[in-house]
Chain A
């Protein structure tokens, strides 16, 4: 009660102080006046004459202003009061030197902006869990051949045999043609197990979700749940969409619900259009769910861990189920170490984490460099103001008070800079999160900034404000007012500016590291662009079709695809037309491996396989169309069909690993898991299949006529304009079937997807490198300009005495260049040592590349020249007469 009352009177006192300032002053004046008059009257009564009494009363009272000040202090809230004073004074000082202020604010805005963006990305991809209830306990798992690739029967076994998950759901990709009346378009969705939404504990935005009860055998649940985004863009928020019949790959499905707006699927960087029950996947893509030995059934299984189950325990459990499956189905299941991790990133988690950590380190360096930069700016400013500081000290101001004032200025700069940087980065992050890098892929970066980003950015700004604000502290503490006032502004600065020198060297070193990093990244990207991928992506068009989307059955696939090839071959300018089942190499991150056994192996089980090459099924003209070199043997022909013996071509890696050499391979045999003997009829050059960064991998190419599938890509080699060619191809294919959705892309543009990470890394590092360069320019410029301006008199005298330009320049800027050289060298060495960090971020990162080394040296030298250009001009154009007259 009394605590409350005293708090109230305290606040009232402060409020009175700030809200009624003028009135309060007048009030105090009144009170003091009445006091003096009362005293004067007393004196008068004691016999003192009126005038003398008043005078004595005033003298007795003492300094009225001091009393008022003290009383004022006694009212409390002095922290804010002083702060207000400091801020007002700080703003005035900053406005007096606008170029300093702008430079400082921009420097900090740059650094804070970069860090806010990087943190935004980290926040979106790493820190923020999937936007579903209890996501902290939600784990994804995969086992079998590769994380992310397992079969539906294996999932069922895991679901029913594990003891760790409350329930286990799973999903796979479903790329379909969706016809809502009128034009069929491609739509990207997930086919999920019935319990998907129940495991996620989600509730529909509209309508209902399907559940496990809807699963009654294959194709028993023709239901669609739309994502909110797709419902919004494709169906214009039409609430009557529930219950509507649509065609998915020509099969009727009923729309039963719309997912909540914040949920866009269980992969962070993908936003899907729809969800459908996985039991209906067979009718949509024509592949049975029952095959155990496939890797296509399930992308990821996930669920909440039971109370008390640790991730390590769950992993052991999954491995135990895997071991059981291997014992039970030795032919179809090869156990590999299972994987368990957070849902949302699956096996991409590690590279993404590494990338984000690399970026964070680099952005932190930017901030450090900026702090060093600002620190030296503030130090030279404090030196410039040494007279002001000395005067204030001499007049009785405390050092604490002066430091507080300087720190307030630094914090002011940091807050303004932080806000500017934050605003820019928020804009950029918003852009990024709505950005769809590829129109045909549902990729989406969930980096919308949230409160955390704002807080981190402002905290960083404040911390850096303190960091660069305390740089001049020692200077002020050591300042001797008498010396400074006596000596005048110019004299104090000797050659000892060591703190600032060290800061500048450090800053340049950091910037050199950043410049090195960006050069390494650019070199890496250039190399990836020019690396030999085993085919020629230029002048070739990929034409994607999926025959099940137009209602074809298995038996019709090969014949229809052959007709498609022949139809496209008639197009003028189409030099070669080939076909590859599913996806061509380096497309859409797709590629499937197959276990291959030596001919003499009899115990065929995955564990005994010789190698696991990538497998492609192609048409006879494929290698011509792809410009892949045939090294030995013969190409496929149209006679290599279902009735002919099984044959295949291998690449050089395959030939060398299986048979020792290319020459030995032709005519030899290998076996598949099911025992089929296949003869090698030829060997082609190595290539890249899944990513540009992969080590040389073995691959085999079989005849597509022996392994028909619905989905295929035609490869059309032509030097014609891609757009016209695509139009002609569509016309031809629609002549065969007007209801068949056709995708046309140049192979080169498909490579963009593969190059996307490298491009993004290069872009990020390039931007950071640019920032580093800008910071080193401002740093060196500040230092050079300052040293020139401080030594103008000396320079003027030397010029007057006939000093030569070279010597003048050496005097003025020699030190700046020395520091630059030392800093750059240190940065270069650090950059080389930091290879490991860079390797996280970019492909083929090696700063030991002579081109990179030369590039960094030249870049830093150029930056130095650029930064010292203006100060150098100023030093040379000194007019000794004017200068000497001035002082």
Chain B
């Protein structure tokens, strides 16, 4: 548990979009999926999850519908809308650019300057 990374501000939405893009999920499933795809390195605070989900619904990036879970429980499932898919692509590109830039900045050696 000690090697968990701090979630950067603003990245929660991105993670949720990514998690949901792999297949419709209910809220708890989103938590599990993020844990799973980040190798348990990223853990979302449960209280922050639902406001973020509602916000994404409001922005029209996710849509929600009630359904049945794998173990026959009623749950609300979230999936990406077209706008959500587009947003995810943009955010991922943006993130990669940023990560590459920061990575190269941090790897700079004295002789390269």
B-binding residues in A (CB < 8 A): 2, 5-6, 8-10, 13, 27-28, 30-32, 34-35, 37-39, 41, 60-63, 66-68, 70-76
Query: How many of B's residues come within 8 Å of A, CB to CB?
Result: 26
A37 / chain B contacts, CB cutoff of 8 Å? 73
Interface contact A74-B52, CB-CB below 8 Å: yes
Interface contact A9-B60, CB-CB below 8 Å: yes
B26 / chain A contacts, CB cutoff of 8 Å? 34-35, 38
In the complex, the number of residue pairs spanning A and B with C-beta atoms less than 8 Å apart equals 84
Known: A2-B86, A38-B28, A62-B46. A67 touches B51 (CB 8 A): yes
- Smallest CB–CB gap between B64 and chain A, Å? 9
* Distance between Cα atoms of A27 and B65 in the complex (Å): 11
Would you give the 0/1 interface string for B37-77, flagging 1 where the beta carbon is closer than 8 Å to chain A? 00000000111101111110111100000000101011110
Query: Is B27 among interface residues, defined by CB-CB distance under 8 A?
Result: yes
A72 / chain B contacts, CB cutoff of 8 Å? 54
- Smallest CB–CB gap between A6 and chain B, Å? 5
- Out of A10, A39, A60, A74, which one reaches B54, CB within 8 Å? A74
- Smallest CB–CB gap between A215 and chain B, Å? 72
- Smallest CB–CB gap between B68 and chain A, Å? 10
Give the interface SS of chain A, mostly helix, strand, loop or mixed: helix
Interface contact A6-B73, CB-CB below 8 Å: no
- Smallest CB–CB gap between B9 and chain A, Å? 16
Interface contact B58-A9, CB-CB below 8 Å: yes
What are the nearest 9 A-B pairs in CB distance?
Answer: A9-B60, A70-B51, A13-B58, A74-B55, A74-B51, A38-B28, A74-B54, A71-B54, A62-B47
Known: A5-B83, A38-B75. A10 touches B46 (CB 8 A): no
- Give the most central of B26, B54, B57: most A CB within 10 Å: B54
Interface contact B57-A13, CB-CB below 8 Å: yes
* Distance between Cα atoms of A37 and B27 in the complex (Å): 12
* Distance between Cα atoms of A73 and B57 in the complex (Å): 13
Known: A31-B76, A34-B74, A35-B26. A9 touches B57 (CB 8 A): yes
A-binding residues in B (CB < 8 A): 26-29, 45-48, 50-55, 57-60, 69, 71, 73-76, 83, 86
* Distance between Cα atoms of A66 and B47 in the complex (Å): 8
Known: A31-B27, A38-B73. A67 touches B47 (CB 8 A): yes
* Distance between Cα atoms of A31 and B51 in the complex (Å): 12
A71 / chain B contacts, CB cutoff of 8 Å? 50-51, 53-54
- Smallest CB–CB gap between B87 and chain A, Å? 9
A39 / chain B contacts, CB cutoff of 8 Å? 28
Interface contact A32-B50, CB-CB below 8 Å: yes
* Distance between Cα atoms of A39 and B31 in the complex (Å): 10
Give me 5 other A-B pairs in contact (C-beta within 8 A), A34-B69, A34-B73 excluded. Answer: A2-B86, A8-B60, A30-B74, A31-B27, A35-B28
| Chain A, Cβ-Cβ closest to B46 | A61
A66 / chain B contacts, CB cutoff of 8 Å? 47
| Chain B, Cβ-Cβ closest to A39 | B28
Interface contact B27-A35, CB-CB below 8 Å: yes
B83 / chain A contacts, CB cutoff of 8 Å? 2, 5-6
B73 / chain A contacts, CB cutoff of 8 Å? 34, 37-38, 41
| Chain B, Cβ-Cβ closest to A34 | B75
* Distance between Cα atoms of A13 and B51 in the complex (Å): 13
| Chain B, Cβ-Cβ closest to A5 | B60
Interface contact B71-A41, CB-CB below 8 Å: yes
| Chain B, Cβ-Cβ closest to A63 | B47
A8 / chain B contacts, CB cutoff of 8 Å? 60
A10 / chain B contacts, CB cutoff of 8 Å? 58-60
A13 / chain B contacts, CB cutoff of 8 Å? 54, 57-58
* Distance between Cα atoms of A66 and B50 in the complex (Å): 11
A6 / chain B contacts, CB cutoff of 8 Å? 59-60, 83
* Distance between Cα atoms of A8 and B69 in the complex (Å): 29
- Give the most central of A6, A13, A74: most B CB within 10 Å: A74
